[in-house]
Structure 1
Amino acid sequence: MRLFLLPISTRRSLLYCERLNITTKNEQSGSWIDKGKNKAAAIWVGWGEKEKGWKRWVSDNGNKSLQRIPFEEWGLKSVPPLSARRQEDEAKENRRIEVSFPSSIIPEEKVLDVLRTLSTERVGLHKQRLIYSIVGMPLVAPLAIVPVIPNLPFFYLVFRAWSHWTALSGSKHIQFLLDKKLLKPEASPILDKLYARNKNPFATPAKSSGPTEERILLTEDEGKDIALVLDIPELFLELKRAVWQVERSLASQQKEAAVVQEQEVDAVRKEKGIDAANEEKKDR
């Protein structure tokens, strides 16, 4: 496998794993989990192709919900689980796994630190949400008695439980590779060209009095270019989702900042008004 560390903004990056060892359809569907995933994906695609009806409605709204799942979770899910056999093989062969990144954006000495953060910062959240999903399954299971329409809440909780478990597994795998020093950061000239318009935003200006403002580093079209140049078509969806989420987050932060600023201005005006009124009383 090969890892990619792709900055989305000056403070957030997408971790993506390309599974180089998966080459055939039979290898992808060798386990019952893979077969279940493939079957569910086929059904989901079929529902999305319906012209109308409840299946199309569920598909459209379900895709909107999937779009809101944090891109950090999707990134960890791209990392294969650390099975006992894989752990033994990776440790025994002592093969270092390449981490491709744009050195014009992320200094090489920060790569492993960024990976450590991405693999640990959401562990508690995924564990908590996994428990909530498992606990919720028996509570919504009785809804299966409703005819025609499947038990959507139950299947959603099953999906979320699987998603959190997969993210935890990916996190565990990355931490294992870090602890065993099996990761090899490799600056990518290709990524550097694609990120050429950004000049080392991770560096803090010497005279800066506070943290630098976060800014977006990619557009959807640029994400498409990265997936195309790297010849990883599925990466485009991950980058598209990440860009969309970060853009929405930054827009929300800007709105909140504008509201706070407006409140501060109003408070100053009010204070000045009170002072002016007091001065007028004194003059009288």
Structure 2
Amino acid sequence: MRLFLLPISTRRSLIYCEKLHEKAASERGVLDKITNKASETWLAWEKDAKAPLNWKKRVTQAGNQALNRIPFEEWGLKTIPALTTKRKLAIVEGREKYQVIYPGLFLQQERVPEILQKLAKEKQTMYKSKMIWSIVAMPFTAPFALIPIIPNLPFFYLVYRAYSYWKALTGSQHLEFLLKHNLPTPNPSSELDEVYTAGLMYPTRQVSRAAPRPSREQAEEVARVVESQTNGGTEDVMVLQRWNGKLIAEQFHLPDMEVEIERAVEQVEQSIKAKDELIEEKLELEKATATGGQTAKDVLPKAVIQPLEEAEKRIHEEAEKVAKEMPSKDEKS
């Protein structure tokens, strides 16, 4: 089984488990059949324009917005199947092989176990408690069943969230069990390095497709520039573009991965932007209320300010150097 550990930024990563072979209809259990039926119904509602007041499309639009707000870490853990007794025995006996694939230039190997441990353990308690509360709240949605035509949407939402928390919980438990048995095996991927580099070098997916694949030297240089932009690890820097999700999914023939990457990139971008805006607001507030028009930065000793200014200048110089070394658009085409 292959697990993909995909850094979205220098501080946050998405885990994605390659889907096992699809079960035949005769092999599917009750839960599988209910899940498939729910997915088919949701897709049908998205296309149904004949419902009164167009309520089906309205519901699916609002629902999709709510689903996109679910943390991408939860979505990633949901891709890991539940740990069955059969699979657990195979892991203990060494018959089950697992590997974690990641871009080695953009994620140091020594960080891989730490990130996996965090994903496996950090939110297990939260998933369990929220699953229980979702189940407890279900009976209180009974009055909504009296509304004509429209189904009891709050009830079905709670059912979905309980199921989602359960899936994330079982996925995290599966991952924790693997780590206890020194699995999965780290496997840095040069293919991922190339796709990540292309995403940072080129402005669009179309240009990336037409341009030559980045060389190892270019990939190493881009990775070095990204590392320098973190300012010694204090800044969170994006390493994956939203449009690049499709290229990664195509590279490994995993079409479902594209949606997970796009969702993760959007959430991390919004998080970094919100953090930057908060810092700017605090600086503006500090400047407005500062005595004598001076801020904390203005009164810092030169010995503190100078290294920061030099580091910022060096980062800009390195970025400009890489930009000059990149082939022009005419050369790419």
TM-score range normalised by the length of the shorter chain: 0.7 to 0.9
Write the distance in 2 (CA, Å) between the matches of 1:150 and 1:71.
Answer: 28
Secondary structure at 2:223 match in 1: coil
Write the distance in 2 (CA, Å) between the matches of 1:125 and 1:255.
Answer: 29
Cα distance per residue 1:245-278 (max 9 Å; x no partner): 111111111111111111111121xx227xxxxx
Equivalent runs, 1:144-223 vs 2, <5 Å: 144-196=145-197, 197=200, 198-199=222-223, 208=232, 211-223=233-245
Over the matched positions of the two proteins, sequence identity in percent amounts to: 41
Q: Is the 8 A contact 2:82 2:167 kept in 1?
A: yes
The reply on whether 1:244 has 2:266 as its aligned counterpart is yes
Any gaps of 5 or more consecutive residues in structure 1? 274-284
Q: Is the 8 A contact 1:10 1:201 kept in 2?
A: no
Cα distance per residue 1:91-122 (max 9 Å; x no partner): 22343301100000111122111111111112
Which letter maps to 1:267? T
Equivalent runs, 1:44-123 vs 2, <5 Å: 44-51=42-49, 53-123=54-124
Pairwise CA distance, 1:2: 0.9
Q: Is the 8 A contact 2:100 2:186 kept in 1?
A: yes
TM superposition outliers: structure 1 runs of 4+ over 4 Å: 200-205
Equivalent runs, 1:226-237 vs 2, <5 Å: 226-237=248-259
170-179 or 259-268, which deviates more: 259-268
TM-score norm. by structure 2 comes to: 0.76
Match of 2:297 in 1: none
Match of 2:28 in 1: 30
Write the distance in 2 (CA, Å) between the matches of 1:117 and 1:221.
Answer: 27
Any gaps of 5 or more consecutive residues in structure 2? 201-221, 294-333
Pairwise CA distance, 1:218: 1.2
32-41 or 213-222, which deviates more: 213-222
Q: Is the 8 A contact 2:226 2:237 kept in 1?
A: no
Pairwise CA distance, 1:70: 0.6
The reply on whether 1:253 has 2:275 as its aligned counterpart is yes
Write the distance in 1 (CA, Å) between the matches of 2:11 and 2:276.
Answer: 16
